[in-house]
Amino acid sequence: MSDSFVYPGTFDPVTEGHMDIIRRASSLCQHLVVAVLDNDAKRTVFSVEERVRMLELATADMDNVSIRAFSGLTAEYMKITGNKTLVRGLRAVSDFDYELQMALLNKSINPNLDTVFLLANQDHLYLSSSVVRDLAKHKADLTGFVPEEIKEIVAEKFCSNCK
Ligand code: PNS
């Protein structure tokens, strides 16, 4: 049985807001697993392999962080891996309803679970993967929105005549 904190999400793609949560959560535990949802029903721009790869590049210098893909229910994934603590970031009141519902549902499926919420840094309150995708579509500079290590990868995904 392991005892890592687990930060689940879609990460389509990882943003600087996610990175802030990853940095802070990893300083609160021995080991942090960033769990990337592989879900056919949730259409993503980046494949699960691409999303995992981008997170690996962005966290390469973090010794106690590992990146895993998972499918199915988060609560079941936690049972299988023997972990008990989920981490989620909260940006605004608008996130709260969904996060409360998810945390309560996860706990009802797996009563051993708890969810730790970290408040987003105020610099990132507006930031989301969908904002990043929109910026990239319009060829905006992604500096400060996504980690440096993945800027090119994200920009190229939306560039029809780069190659
Ligand atoms: O980054 P996101 O898209 O806000 O992450 C949402 C995620 C992946 C954590 C959530 O959708 C999830 O846990 N999905 C797995 C399926 C599941 O457990 N559903 C029940 C809780 S909503």
Residue 42 a catalytic site member: yes
pTM of the predicted protein model: 0.96
Ligand 1 site, CB within 6 A: 8-10, 37, 73-75, 102, 105
Tell me the residue range of the domain where 39 lies.
Answer: 2-157
- What CATH number is given to the structural domain containing 88? 3.40.50.620
Q: Where are the alpha helices (DSSP H) in the chain?
A: 16-26, 48-58, 74-81, 93-109, 129-137, 151-157
How many domains are contained in the chain? Answer: 1
Q: What is the mean pLDDT of residues 86-115?
A: 95
* 101 Cβ neighbours under 8 A, 6+ residues apart: none
pLDDT bucket at 100, cuts 50 / 70 / 90: very high
Which residue in 42, 43, 138, 163 is the catalytic one? 42
- From 5, 6, 7, 10, the mutation candidate for ligand 1 (largest count of ligand atoms within 8 A of CB) is 10
User: Phi and psi of 67, rounded to 5°?
Assistant: -115, 130
Q: 163 in a domain, yes or no?
A: no
Which residue in 51, 88, 91, 124 is the catalytic one? 91
Q: 146 in a domain, yes or no?
A: yes
Do 78 and 103 form a contact (C-beta atoms < 8 A)?
no
pLDDT bucket at 93, cuts 50 / 70 / 90: confident
**Per residue in 127-146, pLDDT tens?**
999 999 999 999 999 999 99
User: Phi and psi of 131, rounded to 5°?
Assistant: -60, -45
Residue nearest to atom 21 of ligand 1 (CA): 102
Closest listed residue to residue 116, CA positions, set 27, 37, 5: 5
Q: 26 in a domain, yes or no?
A: yes
**pLDDT tops 80 at residue 2:** no
Atom of ligand 1 nearest to the CA of 37: 8
d(Cα 53, Cα 102) in Å, to the nearest integer? 26
Q: 63 in a domain, yes or no?
A: yes
